[in-house]
Every structure is written in structure tokens, then in C-alpha cells.
Structure 1
Amino acid sequence: MSRLLFPAAALLGIGVMLTPHAPAAQPAAEDTRLKNLFQSYLDEEFQKHPLFATQQGNHDFDDQLDDLSPEARAKDVARAKALVAALAKEIDVKKLSQDGRIDYGIWAHTLNYALWSAENDNRFEYDPRTYGEYISDSVFLLLTQSTLPRERIVENAAKRIKHIPKIVAAAKAGLKNPPAILTEVAIKRNIGAIAFYEKDIYEFAKETPGSEPLATPCKAAVEALKDYQTWLEKELLPKSKGEWRLGKEKFAKKLELELDAGLTADEVVKIAEAEADRVEREMYYVAKQLWSKLFPGKVLPPDDATGRHATIKAVLDELGKDHGKPETIVDDAKKTVSKIKDFIRERKILTLPDPDTCQIIAMPEFQRGFSAAYLNPAPPLDPKANSLYAVAPPPKDWPPARQATFFREYNSAMLQILTIHEAYPGHYVQLAYSNRNPSLVRKVLWSGSFAEGWAVYTEQMMLDQGYGDGDLSLRLHQLKFYIRAVLNAILDNKMHCANLTDDDAMKLLVGRGFQTEAEAVGKVARAKQSSTQLSTYFVGRTAFYRLRQDVQRKRGDTFNLGKFHEEVLSHGTLPVKYLPELVK
């Protein structure tokens, strides 16, 4: 799933409302006061960070781009510090309603997280990929998700593209000794960005190739990006000696901030290790039932650690032969959707969004290199816009053998699990529900642990309710997809805290996780490109699973699965630690 950008906080306009001698407010009034403060914060953020505005569905600044100079970013940090201090003084938390207290907690936590990141994990200094979001994603969003008239969208895009040389200049001024792997990914993505502005943009804009108003700014952008490409390759890459590992202390603090779930880094790993053992046992039980069908007459391996592992691997390898091709992967994903949606309706898993605005597309070249798929939801302030479920074919520069391993990983069964996770009833459905929640705080400052946790929870839930009619291949791949989420948390910790080598990481993913080489190589690279995000899947899923079990036990015969799901999703995409008090 794609992650939205949360720039450092802004303060403009809030000073008028932060009156030091305001009269005592009733709970409803204090909630309104908080709401107004947050709206003023957003108004300032949108003005100073046009990409953020576009991502949230505000189109007032679609023709502009952010000032990313070191000086501008320093002012962002100063405003954020002032706002944290002001909120603590001017909002009486005791007078807020339950929802108001939660919104206050989310906002204050987000501001503190942004300040910690600016000081300890500043992506504008160590991650060249960050500037790519402004270079290409900023315009791609306009052309694929804005609901403005097409002519206006094209005009805004043309004006926004004119700012790309400034983004390139900011990147050159801001980047300081990044890790080599991040620079390498940025180099590949920038090649995709050049191709986007040379050719692909006209297709997305539904304009004649080479026509105005896009042609002139695109030409200037391409010139700037080619110069940037040379700088990335010749100047930045040789100097990219930075350490991608966060280290134990920073990782522990960042994980606490990212998850906001009341768990420490050590606790997460301990729980994940035990769960990995349990899931592997369950995988063996399923694989053993498939053995005689796939290998008739062949003796089942011994029931010991080596034999159980061999059984699971042989069965998965055989099942993986049923897969598509690079040119069909998007159509293959589309074919899974109708069947999944019909099942959700028939079994009353929940009420699907109507109208359905989820589009399945091939992931653009300039966004590849991080994951095999993502869901970019309709923005909260423009909920009628399209949501994009993007699927990435294997990179074109991969040799045929490596491409083949990719498709053995994302075979016909796994593609169904992926669609459940990314779209129905996973990310697309959950975030569509989230956009209905009245809290602007929860719409904008959403929790990754909630979003990813829900998506992983739905994978098992769908099969438990009968999706696939007991297809053991589907169940084995669901378990494989889940153990991947469990191992993500272990990999995340050990790569950043325990100096886990690439070879040992591959052994963990290929050996314990039964991943193909191509998938494992990509995941090791992803662990280096991010920190703590890989832990959100397991921690979030654990929270949802435990909540479901607890609520179901307490409600007994009155428990209704569909109503439970809708109740859980009705509260917005908030930190999972709040769920037990909201869903009783």
C-alpha cells in the first residue's frame, strides 16, 4: 500500500484562535475548538505543501509544488514545535469527548513523530527517492485521481511541471551522504520519470503527444531530469556511503512512534517468533493433504523438521507453476475481482462501496522497486476520485530466470490473496469506509498499522468464511502470505538492530518463509529502503485478530460478522490501540 506524506506541521492562522483567556468550554465546544484548530493547520499545510494538498483531495494548489529548500524545511520544523507547545496549553483534554480525546492524541502524536523524524531520520537528507515523489508522483496523481474537468487538470499539470527544476535543485542542496541502495533506486526511478515526461504523460492526460500546454514544460523538465540523472550517477552515487541501518536505539523509538500500539521492539520480535513457528506447523498440515494429489505414488518425506520443510517447499513449488505472464498480470488481477466481490456480497462479509471507484492499473516505471503492488486510495477531501490498485510486472532488466521466479511467487492462487489484501475487502474497501468518518484528523493522519493490519486480517478471514470452497492451494498460499507478514517484523528488527547480513536475511525468507529468490531479494532491498513499516502488517493483524476473538466471545450467539466489520471500519483509520475502547 502506498503511504501518504505528512509534512512537518504548520501554524499560520492558528494564532488568532489560540486566545490565552478563552472562556471555559463545554465538551462539544472543546471538540469544535479542536476541529477548528486542525482545519487551520490543514489550510496552512496545503498552502505551503501543495503535494500534500493534492494527496488529501484539496485542489486549490494543484498548479504549484513545495519549497523543499533546507531553509523552508527548517521553518516547517519551527512551526511544528510551536504548534505542539500551543496545543498542550490551549486544548483542555478533560473537556473533550471520547472521540475528541482520540483525535487530539492522534494529532499530537503525529506532530511529535514528525519532529523526531526531522531530527533523527530526515528523509530529505538521506533518501533521494523522496524528491521523486515531487518530480513524478505529484503530476501522476493529478492525471489519475483529480475529479476536476480534464482541461483544468492538464493546465494544472503543465504549471506544476514547471516547478520540477526547483525540486531538482533542492535535491542537490539537501541530500547528504545517503545509503547507496537508496541512490540506486532513485537512479532507476528517475529513468522512469524521464520516460514519463517524454512520452507516457500524454497518454495519461489524454492529449496528443507533443501538444501544448504540456510540451514546453515537459521539455524543460526532461532537460532538468537528464541533468539530475547525471548528477545522481556521477556525483551522488560515489558519495553515497551512508548507513541504512537505524541501529537498535533509533529503531526502537521509531517503531514505538510508527506503531503507536503500546508495544516495544523486543516484544514485537518475541511475539513474531512464536507466531512464525505456529504458522509453519499449520502450513505443513495443509501441504501434507496436498502431497498425494500432486505427487501420486511418491512417499511423503519424514515427519521431522527437515522433512516437514521439504514437504511444504515441494508442494509450493509445484503449485507455483500455475501463473501468468508479464503482459497479462494486470488482466489476471482484474479477473480475480468479480469472484471476490460476489463472495463478499453472498456471505455478507460487509457492504461494499457503491459506486466502485477502484481501478486496476500497471504500476508506472517510476514507482517500481519497492513492492509488487499498492493501493492508492481516493483522497479524503475528494472521496469520489478513483482509487488505484497498481500491480507491478517484474522489472524489464531482470533475466528470464529471475522473472520466472517472480511469477512462481505471484501465481494464480497468490494473486487472489493479493487482491483480497489490496482491494476487496482490504485496503480499497477499508479506506473507502474511512473517508466516511466525520473526523478530519483520522482521515488525514491515518495509521499504517490499522490499514495494513486490516488487510492482512481479511486474507485469513475470507478463507475461513468459505472463499475458494476449501481449495487447499489457496489456503496454503494464504498461510505463506501471512508468514511473510510475520517474518517482515523479524526481518525489520534484525536488519536494523542486529546487523543481519543479506545472506542470512535470504535464508530467513527463502528457508523459513518459502519465498522465491526474486521475492526474497526484493524484500531484503525493501528492508534497507524502509524501517519500521514492515512491522505494521503483523502488529496490526494481531490487534484485529485479538479484537475479533474477544468481541465474538463476549457477544456469543448475537455476534454478526458483517456488522462487526462495519463497526470496526466506521471509526476511521486510527491507531489500533484505540479499538478495544471503541468496539466493545
Structure 2
Amino acid sequence: MKKALLPLAVAMAIGGLTACQNTNTNTVEPSQQISPFIAQQQAFEQLTSQFIDDLWQLSPTWALYNGKHVNDGYLEVPNEQSRSKTLDFIAKQQAKFAAVDTATLTTNQQIDFELISNLLASMKWEITEFKAWQWQPSNYNVAGGFAQIINEDFAPLDERLASVIARLENVPAYYQAAQASIDNPTLEHTQLAIMQNKGAFSVLSDDLAAQVAESGLSDEQKALFTTRFDLAVKAINQHIEWLANLESDLKQNGARSFRIGEALYEKKFAFDIQAGMTGKQLYQKAVDDKNRVQAEMAKITKEIWSKYIDTPIPPNDKLAIRQLIDVLSAKHVERDNFVEEVRKQIPELVQFVNDKKLITLDPTKPLVVRETPAYMRGFAGASISAPGPYEKGGNTYYNVTPLDGMSDEAAESYLREYNHWILQVLNIHEAIPGHYTQLVYSNESPSLVKSLFGNGAMIEGWAVYTERMMLEEGYGNFEPEMWLMYYKWNLRVICNTILDYSIQVKGMEEQQALDLMMNEAFQQRAEAQGKWRRATLSQVQLTSYYSGYREIYDLREQLKVEQGDDFDLRKFHEQFLSYGSAPVKHVKQLMTSN
């Protein structure tokens, strides 16, 4: 009902504004005069809309990833001039928003204001203080934008290929600027850059050249493609060679540490997580939760030990848990069927969610399980690539990395980690009703700000929350083995926070990290080694899972108590997701303000 009143109020405001232009202002009825609050709210909507438009003009590639096609053929060159241009943009936008009287805004608008303010401050901090553009060579890779144009069917192929041709023009300048920007990098990000830039040739490939040759483009366009394509390939190869020389130098003479330290960590945590607590406070909370979850796992282990193991249970709880998990983990899919098994489980999850009426799923929004593209590999084994709010009907890709590049030993370790039970939990997290579902809802949010500038802790936290929620609702038939493996998975989420803070702030070394993950979180060696690698390549992001999960779960439990018998789980889920990907503390404010 409240939403229905707003258009009428706006219409009355417009009518009042027109009337106020009459020279005889004394004849205007009070009901016709525009409300100052409504005028401020309208002005704010115009300001945010203009901000988004200006941002896309500044960064057409960012727009492209969100499904907004402003200038797909333009590849920004990451040089000092572009950074200065961005800082100038930030200063002008901050000045505009500083003039807003937030007291006149609706609660929803106040949250949009905070999100934009945080985004601008974060952008400035990234350039002027954090300076990852200097020490993270993996920031530079042209493949993503080209892949977005080539693989997404948002326009006729010839039109998209024309954008590819235009975009190819700046590839040589792009890598020249990258090399000029890189200074005192880490060895780890340099090695990642080499691997991922080699993966760029899975996009700028012979298949692309064949598409152009067979297209309806003119002979002149095709010739231009060939010229620019060859120059782009040459530039990428030269950059890979440059990086390889840099890698050798860093190995010989030493490199910058990947650890960012407490001061930078806390600032990045505040910008990225927006949790209302410090990184250190979250770390301490995670340590307490680790002990609680381990106690739950010990109870289940004692309950089902004799079902699987004939020898007496060890008095050491962690040793007993580890031994039982090792036995259970032998039940897993064959390595060659890993991707196909993921694909097979998706309809089963859809059926369960629909039968239990946990949340409304939109069958018109495609979810495509695919092998992770080469240019995206080396960071995570599974991920979601979702369309932005401007292309709501586009494919959402569930990227699953096949195991064909692993040794037999590494593959077996990986499969034991993603065993029969945990693979199901993974698919809940990444797909149904986790990331895929949340991002579909986010695109439908009436607030474009909340959809576009999503909070990672809310996004990851939702995916983690759904894992427990699905088991609570009977997924897995309350099988103790499923709950044991869920707790193992959840313990990994908790230890992600402990690991990230300990590595980046407390100086944790690799063996200590492996001990934490293998002996405290009961992970397989391959998974632990992969997580160590990930923790050296990212900062703060690993804490987002636990932070968001705790906030969402605690909010649900609070509302269950307050609403009693009136609490409806599906209603909670759909209302929670209706606000886009805003930080949980803001979603809580919206859900409890009425």
C-alpha cells in the first residue's frame, strides 16, 4: 500500500510545482504545493541516476559487466591519466552528495546514500592509499571484457564483433600502461598474472577469428580485425614475457610481501564488509564459533562412529572427527564426472526448494553449468558469473573447474574434500538457493544502487546461510553424516576468517595455515593448499562468508522470536532479498523499520 501512494504524491508534487509558477501564488491550495521532503527525495533520485550514468561514462567496462552497453568498443587504458580522471570524478561526486540533506530522505534512500558514499571513498582509497594497481599485476587482463561481448547474446553477432574490433585497438596501449604502473609487486600476484594472461588466448582465439571470417562484416572490417587482432596477440605475448622476466627478478632479488598489515587491513575491511565491527572483533568471534562447531561435530562422531569403524573411538575428539571424516570422504564422484555431477544435482535442488516452498524461483532465468574459462582459473574451483540488472534475462554461469589438470594424487584429495555430501552443500551455496538465486533477486530490486554496488558480505553470507537453512528444512533427510559434513564445511567458513586475519595481520606462515585448515577444520591437503594460495592473493574477502552468514542467521532468529507463529520462512527470504545486495545491517534496518 505504501508503494501505491508514492506515485500519487509525486504527481501531486509535480502539479504543485506547475501551479507555483503562476504569478498569483496566493491562489495555490496547500495540497497543491510541493512537499519539501518529496522535492528532496525526487532530487536525490535524479542525483543517483545521474551518478550511475556518469560512472558508466567513466568506466564503460564496468558498465559492460553489469549489462549496460554504454561504449562496449572502448577499452580503458589504465595509466596515470585515467587514475587522475577517476579521482577528479570522485571529488566532484562527493561534493554533490555532501550537499544532500539526508534527514529528508526515506530510509531506503538513506541506505543508497551510504552505499554510494562508501563506494566513492573506497575508490579513492584504492587509488591513493592501497595502490593495488602498483603491486598486483594480476589486475591487468583484457580477456574479461572481450569474453563478455563474445559470449553474451545481448545484440546481433555482427554488432558485437564490431565492438570487439573497436576494443582491440587499445590492447597494446593497455599493456604498455600496465607495465608502466606495476612497481614493486608481489611474486604471488605476478605469477597469477602470467597464468591468467595466458588464459586470455582462450578468448582471443582462432575460434574468434573464424567467427569474424564467417560473419556479415564488411571486408574492410574483417581486414581491420586481422590487423588489430595480430597486434593484440603480440602485445599479450610480450606482456607475458615481461612478467616472466619480472618473476625471475623477484625470485632472485626478493619481492614485496603479500601481507598488507593491520592498518590497511582494517580500512579495507571497513570498506568491503560494512559489518559494524572491526576485522579484529570478527576474528575473535570466529575463534569462539570454531570451538562451538567442533563440539557439535564431536557429538555426531560419537553417535555414528560404530556404524563405520570397528576400533574404539579415540579419546581425543579432533582425532576421532578426523578419522571418521577420512572414512566418509572416500564416497565421492569419479574425477571425469565431476562437472557433470554438479550439472545433474541442480534440478534436484530446484525440486526441493519448490516442494518446501522456501523461496520462489524464476524458471525463466537460465543457470548454465560450464567449465571455468581458462582466463578465470587459478583462484577458485567454483564460482558464479551473473548478468547485471540491465540484462536480467542473460545467462548466469556456474563455473566449475574440471580436474583434468591435476595429478592423480591431487585430484583424489580434491574429490575427498568435495565428497558425496559436501558437493551437495557446494551446489546449494553456489546455485540453488545460494548465489544464483540471490543475484536473480538482486537484479529485480527497485533500487538500482543496491543491485549494482552489492556488498560482498551480504552476497556470500546469503549463500552460506542457505546451506544451514536447507539442512534445517530437511535436505539430506536429517542424515547425521550430512550434518557432520555440513559442520565441516561451516567450520571452513569460520576458519576462513581466522586464516585471512592471521595471514594478513598476524604473520601466519604456510605451515601454520595448513595446520589450522587440516587439523582444526579437517580439510584435505589439496583444499588447504588452495586456500593458502587464495589467502595470499586476496585480502578481507575470505571474511565475508562468515560475517554475512552470522548477521543473516541472527536476524532471522530475532524475527522468529518477535513474530512468533506469524513468522513465515519464505516471506522472510523474499523480503530479505528484495532489497538488492545491500549490507545486512542496512537490510535489517529496512526489515525492522515498519
What is the CA deviation profile of residues 12-67 of structure 1, one whole-angstrom value per residue up to 9, with x for unaligned ones? xxxxxxxxxxx996333322222222222222222231210101111131112113
Residues 329-370 of structure 1, C-alpha deviation per residue, up to 9 Å, x if partnerless?
A: 221111111111100000011001231311111111211111
Aligned partners of 1:360 and 1:388 also within 8 Å: yes
1:254 aligns with 2:273: no
Residue 452 (structure 1) aligned to one of 434, 445, 460: 460
**Equivalent residue letter for 2:306:** S
Cα shift at 1:443: 1.2
| Contact 2:421 2:485 survives alignment (8 Å) | yes
Residue number in structure 1 paired with 2:524: 516
- Give the Cα–Cα distance (whole angstroms) in 2 for the partners of residues 205 and 250 of structure 1: 46
Give the aligned residue type for 1:173. A
* Residues 243-287 of structure 1: CA deviation (Å, up to 9, x unaligned): 211111111121122111110122101110000111111122223
C-alpha distance in 2, partners of 1:202/1:561? 51
Q: CA deviation at 1:326?
A: 4.2
Match of 1:57 in 2: 67
Hey, what does 2:188 align to over in structure 1?
Answer: 181
Are the counterparts in 2 of residues 65 and 163 from structure 1 also a CA contact under 8 Å? yes
Post-superposition Cα deviations, 1:479-510, rounded to whole Å, max 9, x if no partner, equal 11111111111111111111111110111111
Query: Once structures 1 and 2 are overlaid, which stretch shifts more, 334-343 or 320-329?
Result: 320-329
3-state SS of the aligned residue for 1:298? Answer: coil
Q: Does 1:301 align with 2:309?
A: no
Write the distance in 1 (CA, Å) between the matches of 2:458 and 2:246: 40
Q: 1:202 to 1:289 in 2, by over 3 A?
A: farther
C-alpha separation between the residues in 1 aligned to 2:334 and 2:166? 38
| 2:137 aligned partner | 128
| Aligned residue number for residue 90 of structure 2 | 80
Compute the displacement of 1:173 (Å): 1.1
1:440-481 Cα deviation digits (max 9, x unpaired) = 111111110110110000001001100111233322222111
- Name the residue aligned to 1:400: 408
Q: How does 1:188-267 map to 2 (within 5 A)?
A: 188-199=195-206, 201=208, 212=222, 216-235=227-246, 237-239=248-250, 241-267=255-281
Deviation readout 1:530-578 (Å, 9 max, x if unpaired): 1111111101000001001000011111111111110111111101111
Identity of aligned residues (%): 29
- Structure 2 counterpart of 1:475: 483
CA distance in structure 2 between the partners assigned to 1:206 and 1:447 by the alignment: 42
1:140-539 correspondence to structure 2 within 5 Å? 140-199=147-206, 201=208, 212=222, 216-235=227-246, 237-239=248-250, 241-295=255-309, 297-302=310-315, 307-394=316-403, 396=405, 398-539=406-547
Contact 1:334 / 1:360 at 8 angstroms: preserved in 2? Answer: yes
Counterpart of 1:191, as a letter, is K
Q: 1:423 to 1:280 in 2, by over 3 A?
A: same
Deviates further, 490-499 or 474-483: 474-483
In structure 1, give the amino acid aligned to 2:435: H
Whole-angstrom CA distance in 2 between matches of 1:94 and 1:57: 33
Query: Structure 1 runs of 4+ off > 6 angstroms?
Result: 202-208
Measure, in 2, the Cα distance between the counterparts of 1:457 and 1:206: 48
SS state at 1:331 partner: helix
CA change 1:203–1:530 in 2 (3 A) is farther
Q: CA deviation at 1:200?
A: 5.7
C-alpha displacement of 1:215: 5.1
> CA separation of 1:292/1:207 partners in 2, compared to 1, >3 Å: closer, same or farther?
farther
Q: Report the counterpart of residue 12 of structure 1 in structure 2.
A: none
Bigger fraction of residues in helix: 2
Q: Provide the rounded CA distance (Å) in 2 between the counterparts of 1:260 and 1:200.
A: 43
Say if 2:146 and 2:203, in contact at 8 Å, map to a contact too. no
CA distance, structure 2, for counterparts of residue 467 and residue 563 of structure 1? 19
Is the alpha carbon distance of 1:217 and 1:176 closer, same or farther for their aligned partners in structure 2, counting shifts above 3 Å? same
The Cα shift of 1:179 comes to 0.6
| 1-structure distance, mates of 2:434, 2:233 | 37
1:112-123 matches, within 5 Å, as 112-123=121-132
Contact kept, 8 Å, 1:184 with 1:237, in 2: the verdict is no
CA spacing shift, 1:179–1:570, aligned 2, 3 Å: same
What count of residue pairs does the alignment treat as equivalent? 551
Shift in alpha-carbon separation, 1:131–1:83, aligned structure 2, 3 A = same
In structure 2, the CA distance between the partners of 1:516 and 1:323, relative to structure 1 (3 Å rule), is same
- CA deviation map 1:161-189 (0-9, x unaligned): 33222221111111111110000111111
The structure-2 alpha-carbon separation of the partners of 1:493 and 1:574, relative to structure 1 and needing over 3 Å to count, comes to same
The answer to whether 1:111 aligns with 2:128 is no
Q: Corresponding residue for 1:66?
A: 76
Relative to structure 1, the CA distance from residue 176 to residue 343 in structure 2 (aligned partners, 3 Å threshold; closer, same or farther) is same
Where 2:475 maps in the other structure, the secondary structure is: coil
Find the counterpart in structure 1 of residue 13 from structure 2: none
Once the 2 structures are TM-superposed, how far is the Cα of residue 158 of structure 1 from its aligned partner?
Answer: 3.2
Post-superposition offset of 1:377: 1.4
Of 460-469 and 387-396, deviating more is 387-396
1:28 corresponds, among 38, 41, 45, to 38
Q: Secondary structure at the match of 1:360?
A: strand
Select the residue among 543, 567, 570 that pairs with 1:562: 570
Q: Distance in 2 between matches of 1:345 and 1:204?
A: 41
Instruction: Write the letter of the residue equivalent to 1:67.
Output: V
Contact kept? 1:180, 1:237, Cα under 8 Å: no
Counterpart amino acid of 2:290? A
CA deviation profile, 1:376-413 (whole Å, cap 9, x unmatched): 112111111111110112472x4321222111112232
Aligned-partner residue type, residue 151 of structure 1: D
Contact 2:460 2:544 in 1 (8 A): yes
Shift in CA distance, 290/156, structure 1 to aligned 2, threshold 3 Å: farther
The answer as to whether partners of 1:70 and 1:173 remain within 8 angstroms in 2 is no
3-state SS in 2 of match to 1:197? coil
Runs (5+) with no aligned partner, structure 2: 1-32
Contact 1:358 1:387 in 2 (8 A): yes
For 1:8, the equivalent position in structure 2 comes to none
Following the alignment from structure 2 to structure 1, what is the Cα–Cα distance between the partners of residues 207 and 413?
29
Contact in 1 for aligned 2:365/2:394 (Cα 8 Å) = no
Structure 1 residues without counterparts, runs of 5 or longer: 1-22
Deviations 1:61-106 (A, max 9, x none): 11121131112112211221232123112x1111111111111111
Are 1:145 and 1:387, in contact at CA under 8 Å, matched by a contact in 2? no
Aligned CA distance change for structure 1 residues 479 and 203 (closer, same or farther; 3 Å): farther
Q: CA RMSD in A?
A: 2.1
Cα distance, 1:160 vs structure 2: 1.9
Cα drift, residue 431 of structure 1: 1.0
